[in-house]
């Protein structure tokens, strides 16, 4: 087991390097540099040149690349051009909001998808099943930014129940603990729903078909013959094999937990990793772009590893014991 | 729904949308936009186009007579014009309403649809060519080529694609051509894998060996033996991928990273609509639903093809894997 993990991790390091190098090339190929993005009419061409010199942008791309590579390998992510503070600090500030948002979205995705599938398969091809199948097919074609827009329109603009953007209300610092938490949850609900609903539709569609499949299998028949309750058969016997492939899906969506959703975060002005990447890309903030990419790439790799490990823990057939 | 019904529903949805976008703007003349009287008209509003003797054209939902003058009113404003100056009156129905500049949303959707459809179609073709070539090269080029190409595919697949698209789109100036190249370059990896797998499994089949021993040249084997057998799985994958591309294009345009702001696409129309919110809900609802109909139509085609391929299956069990793959993508 340990050897398997170590071997996987070692083969994945070149992959991270490749992803980061590709990103570096893309950033270098793009026209303009940080000095050109500073919006200040009084800035002369000489001054912009001086700024390029300050940030080392006047050096050849290969020199910049090896300088960056050396610093990264020794654990130094550099200083953000835009925020004028260490990249590590910018990321550690943006990470918790993104984990909170993406984590809630993932929970909504799984719980809602599971509930819909279980309710629908209680009577397959009944009216509940038909309606939910139709709805989940409909939702799965919707762009998440559109769902976000509709939720804002209904719950923020028309009903006025929930705030349309940001993570805290103005003056939230002065609130008491409980009031602050309620305020945070209110701000969290709409973005989390926008991300989670589309996923829940896919999860429900998938779970519905696997639940129908397991219903017809021999071990469910055997469990029924043994006189087990319907509830026990459903939750213990039918659901376990149906949930297996979801482990892979959720392992693969782990990167989103840390890299965030650029679209949803910018629609809701949610101060997470997606918004940071967005601003970094617009400002040509190379250290910050590389830092966010590094975290994203690492998450992709850890995610697929975790998915594999969980899968082999849950399904003995997938273990390669050697 | 069984395979054939799915396929039929999907093909009709996609065909109707494509035809409306392609032909619609040709049939219906462009109405003049009147930001004064025709801004934010709700769907189904019937308006009158008033042409004056100096050539100006006013568009307003309400035109009433007031002795020798005509009152043209709408959107909270009214203008009086002398009846003698009016040279022509015309009816125009805003089936889906108008935006804040008085432009017909239906027409904007049709024009935008041309761009959205063209961009996703051309990027799909690009992805198909790159993916096909890489897949065939990996399957037939020997273990070294295969190893290098497949590691590259793995690396690119591991990368969150939308992240890469957004990064590249934010760094480069947007244009339709750049968008096609960007979308094409970031979505060929799955196809390369699929083609490689199919070619590898076909290579061991007796009819390929028979063709080789009977002395068929390689291009004949590729066009007459590999291609027909690849067509099914590739078409399935292409339909689903095109749905993804439509969504990706819409997302980039929504963020203002797609085509230049002067060109409407479905994604940028949603973004425009959200700027006028809470007024004009139809400006957000209509483009979003149009995207959804197209994506669902393409999804049904992909699903249907798979079911028909696997024996017209009536069961709902197949196609589950496709949904799971897409589910992970949707979360992004």
Please report the ipTM that was assigned to this predicted complex: 0.78
Three-state secondary-structure class, residue A79:
strand
Give the nearest partner residue to B277 out of A22, A144, A153, using CB atoms.
A153
Statement: residue A192 has pLDDT above 50? yes
Interface contact B331-A105, CB threshold 8 A: yes
User: In the block, which residue shows the tokens 């051309």?
Assistant: B122
**Integer Cα distance of B226 and B203 in angstroms:** 9
Q: Which residues contact A270 (CB under 8 A, 6 or more apart)?
A: A97, A98, A101, A165, A166, A167, A191, A264
Residues of A in Cβ contact (< 8 Å) with B151 = 15
What residue of B is the nearest CA neighbor of A17?
B155
| CA-based nearest residue in chain B for residue A19 | B155
How many other CB atoms are found less than 10 A from the CB of residue B300? 26
Edge-first strand listing for the sheet containing B45-52:
B57-60, B45-52, B86-94
Give the helix/strand (H/E) hosting A270: none
B327 vs A30, A152, A249: nearest CB: A249
**Closest residue to A141, CB basis, from B167, B292, B317:** B292
Of A105, A84, A278, nearest in space to A194 by CA: A105
The answer to which of A174-178, A255-259, B48-52 has the lowest mean pLDDT is A255-259
Q: Under an 8 A CB cutoff, do A212 and B284 touch? A: no
Q: Which residues contact B183 (CB under 8 A, 6 or more apart)?
A: B119, B120, B123, B126, B127, B165, B245, B248, B249
Calpha distance B159→B187 (Å, rounded): 11
* Cα B199-B204-B209 angle, rounded to 5 deg: 105
Domains of chain B: 45-94 (2.30.30.100), 105-330 (1.10.3720.10)
Q: Do A144 and B296 touch (CB under 8 A)?
A: no
Residue A229, pLDDT > 70, answer: yes
> Measured between beta carbons, which residues in chain A are less than 8 angstroms from residue B250?
143, 145
Average pLDDT over residues A194-222: 85
Q: Is the Cβ pair A202, B330 closer than 8 Å?
A: yes
In this prediction, residue B323 carries a pLDDT of 41
- Which residues on A lie below 8 Å from B267 (Cβ)? 143, 145
Comparing alpha-carbon positions, the chain B residue that sits nearest to A214 is: B317
Residue-level pLDDT at B302: 85
Quote the crossing angle between the two packed helices A286-314 and A239-252, to the nearest 10°: 160
pLDDT digits (tens, 9 = 90+) for A17-58: 888 888 888 888 877 777 777 777 677 777 777 777 777 777
Query: Residue A281's beta-bridge partner residues?
Result: none
Count of A–B CB contacts within 8 Å? 171
Beta bridge partners of A79: A86
Chain A residue numbers touching B247 (CB-CB < 8 A) = 143
Report the pLDDT value the prediction gives residue A232, as an integer from 0 to 100.
84
> Pick from A140, A262, A289: which is nearest to B330 by CB?
A140
Q: From the CA of A146, how many Å to the nearest CA of chain B?
A: 6
pLDDT at A158: 82
Min Cα separation A240/chain B (Å): 17
DSSP A200-264: HHHHHHHHHHHHHHHHTSHHHHHHHHTT--HHHIIIIIIHHHHHHHHHHHHHHTHHHHHH--HHH
Residue A93 corresponds to which tokens in the numbers above? 């500030």
pLDDT along chain B (332 residues), means of 10: 82 92 82 77 82 79 78 77 77 83 86 90 94 88 86 74 73 80 87 89 85 87 85 88 88 80 83 80 88 89 81 46 39 34
Distance from CA of A174 to the nearest CA of B (A): 30
B316: nearest CB among A195, A212, A249 = A212
Separation of alpha carbons A263 and B268, rounded Å? 13
Separation of alpha carbons A261 and A284, rounded Å: 19
Contacts of A199 in chain B (CB under 8 A): 327, 330-331
Lowest pLDDT segment from A103-107, A133-137, A174-178, B245-249? A174-178
**pLDDT category, A321, cuts 50, 70, 90?**
low
| C-alpha atoms less than 13 angstroms from C-alpha of A198 in its C-beta half-sphere | 26
Write down the pLDDT at residue B126: 95
Residues of chain B in contact with residue A149, where contact means CB-CB under 8 angstroms, are 270, 273-274, 277, 284, 288
- Rounded distance, CA A44 to CA A50, Å? 10
Q: How confident is the model at residue B327, as a pLDDT?
A: 36
- Give the relative orientation of helices B320-331 and A127-140 as an angle to the nearest 10 degrees: 50
B181, B228 contact by CB (below 8 A): no
A255 interaction partners in chain B (CB closer than 8 Å): 160
CA separation for the pair A250, A304 (Å, rounded): 9
Backbone angles phi, psi at A314, to 5 degrees: -85, -30
Tell me the per-residue pLDDT of A49-99, one tens digit each, with 9 for 90 and over: 777 777 777 778 888 888 888 888 888 888 888 888 898 899 999 888 988
């Amino acid at each position: 087991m340990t050897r398997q993990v170590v071997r996987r991790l070692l083969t994945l390091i070149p992959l991270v390097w490749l992803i980061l190098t590709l990103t570096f090339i893309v950033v270098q190929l793009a026209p303009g540099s940080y000095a050109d993005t500073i919006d200040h009419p009084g800035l002369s061409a000489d001054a912009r040149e001086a700024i390029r010199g300050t940030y080392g942008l006047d050096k050849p791309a290969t020199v910049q690349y090896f300088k960056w590579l050396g610093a990264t390998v020794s654990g130094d992510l550099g200083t953000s051009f835009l925020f004028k503070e260490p990249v590590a600090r910018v990321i550690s500030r943006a990470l918790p909001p993104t984990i909170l948002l993406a984590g809630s979205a993932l929970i909504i995705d799984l719980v809602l998808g599971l509930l819909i599938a279980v309710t629908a398969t209680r009577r397959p091809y009944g009216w509940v099943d038909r309606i939910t199948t139709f709805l989940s097919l409909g939702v799965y074609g919707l762009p998440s930014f559109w769902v976000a827009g509709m939720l804002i329109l209904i719950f923020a603009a028309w009903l006025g129940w929930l705030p349309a953007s940001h993570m805290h209300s103005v003056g939230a610092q002065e609130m008491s603990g409980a009031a602050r938490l309620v305020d945070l949850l209110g701000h969290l609900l709409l973005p989390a729903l926008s991300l989670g609903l589309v996923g829940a539709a896919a999860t429900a569609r998938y779970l519905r078909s696997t639940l129908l499949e397991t219903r017809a299998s021999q071990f469910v028949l055997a469990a029924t013959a043994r006189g087990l309750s319907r509830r026990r058969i459903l939750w213990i016997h039918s659901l376990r094999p149906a949930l297996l492939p979801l482990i892979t899906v959720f392992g693969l969506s782990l990167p989103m937990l840390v890299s965030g959703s650029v679209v949803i975060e910018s629609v809701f002005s949610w101060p997470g990793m997606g918004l940071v990447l967005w601003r970094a890309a617009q400002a040509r903030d190379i250290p910050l772009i590389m830092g966010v990419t590094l975290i994203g790439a690492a998450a992709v790799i850890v995610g697929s590893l975790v998915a594999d490990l969980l899968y082999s823990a849950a399904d003995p057939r997938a273990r390669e014991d050697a | 729904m069984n395979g054939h019904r799915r396929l039929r529903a999907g093909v009709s949805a996609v065909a109707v949308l494509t035809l409306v976008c392609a032909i619609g703007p040709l049939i219906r003349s462009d109405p003049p936009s009147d930001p004064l009287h025709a801004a934010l008209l709700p769907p189904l509003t019937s308006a009158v186009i008033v042409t004056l003797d100096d050539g100006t054209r006013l568009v307003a939902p309400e035109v009433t007579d007031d002795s020798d003058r005509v009152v043209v009113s709408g959107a909270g404003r009214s203008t009086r014009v002398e009846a003698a100056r009016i040279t022509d009156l015309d009816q125009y129905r805003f089936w889906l309403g108008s935006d804040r500049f008085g432009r017909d949303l239906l027409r904007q959707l049709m024009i935008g649809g041309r761009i959205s459809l063209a961009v996703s179609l051309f990027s799909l073709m690009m992805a198909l060519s790159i993916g096909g070539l890489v897949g065939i090269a990996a399957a037939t080029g020997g273990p070294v080529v295969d190893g290098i190409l497949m590691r590259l595919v793995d690396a690119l697949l591991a990368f969150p694609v939308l992240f890469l698209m957004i990064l590249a789109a934010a760094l480069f100036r947007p244009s339709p051509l750049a968008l096609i190249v960007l979308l094409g370059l970031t979505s060929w990896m799955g196809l390369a894998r699929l083609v490689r797998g199919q070619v590898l499994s076909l290579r061991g089949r007796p009819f390929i060996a028979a063709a080789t021993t009977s002395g068929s040249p390689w291009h004949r084997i590729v066009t007459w033996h590999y291609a027909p057998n690849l067509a099914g799985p590739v078409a399935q994958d292409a339909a689903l991928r095109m749905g993804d591309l439509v969504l990706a294009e819409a997302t980039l345009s929504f963020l203002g990273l797609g085509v230049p702001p002067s060109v409407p696409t479905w994604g940028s129309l949603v973004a425009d609509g959200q700027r006028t919110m809470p007024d004009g809900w139809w400006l957000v609802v209509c483009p979003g639903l149009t995207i959804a109909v197209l994506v669902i139509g393409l999804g049904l085609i992909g699903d249907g093809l798979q079911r028909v391929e696997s024996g017209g299956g009536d069961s709902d069990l197949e196609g589950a894997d496709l949904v799971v793959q897409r589910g992970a993508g949707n979360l992004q």
